[in-house]
Amino acid sequence: MGYRISKVYTRTGDDGSTSMADGSRVSKTSAVMQAIGDIDELNACIGVLRAEPLPKAIDLGLLAVQNELFSVGGELAMPEYQTISQGHIDVLEKQIDSWNNSLEPLKEFILPSGNRPVALCHVARTVCRRAERGLVLLKQQHKVRDELLHYVNRLSDYLFVAARTIGKANHTAEVYWQQNTAR
């Protein structure tokens, strides 16, 4: 693979606009740029999570997700570039089901806490939910393939179950929500 980026700055975005893959210029506050930024932020959150000690299978799964998120961002910038398919969603669902079958059934909401890797996984999950809202907003204005929405929606479930699985692997007790607790 050759060099893709030879210069990091171009100064063309100093006016608050940025270039799309087709050469058109859009505001950095446009719905498409917000969605791309949310996906990028999610990818960075997963990178921070992966810097923590994780079970190898979870780390490798998250590495695959990071590559897939890069493809999601690419597709948002170039709608003709389609890489996320139902197969990617199926992989997430299969892993969710596998992990979930090894966990205790939830009887109450759990708080996003426990230990650092668990908490960081929950942060990634909430950033994923925000990215999903951004995609829904973008879809109201532009064409967004259903597979992208389905993938990001399923990814938040994947991250939720991954957080629980990390906690179990680290022998970290889940913290349950308690309604009407006195302070």
DSSP-assigned states of every residue in 148-181 = HHHHHHHHHHHHHHHHHHHHHHTT-PPPBP-TT-
pLDDT for 75: 94
pLDDT for 130: 98
pLDDT for 113: 87
pLDDT for 80: 84
Percentage of residues in the chain having pLDDT higher than 70: 91
Homologous superfamily of the 25-78+87-169 domain (CATH): Cobalamin adenosyltransferase-like (1.20.1200.10)
Residue 10 binned pLDDT confidence (cut-offs 50, 70, 90): confident
- Of 161 and 143, the one with more pLDDT: 161
Distance of CA 103 to the CA centre of its chain: 22
Name which of 117, 3, 5 is nearest 51 in CA terms. 117
Per the confidence metrics, is the pTM higher than 0.85? yes
Q: Averaged over 175-183, what is the pLDDT? A: 79
Q: Averaged over 12-17, what is the pLDDT? A: 67
Number of other residues whose CB lies within 10 A of the CB of residue 117: 23
Of 10-14, 31-35, 154-158, the one with minimum mean pLDDT is 10-14
* pLDDT tens column, 74-130: 999 987 889 999 999 999 999 999 999 999 999 889 989 889 999 999 999 999 999
Q: Averaged over 145-173, what is the pLDDT? A: 97
* pLDDT tens column, 40-54: 999 999 999 999 999
As a whole number of angstroms, the distance between CA 75 and CA 42 comes to 16
Round to the nearest angstrom and report the end-to-end CA distance of the chain. Answer: 59
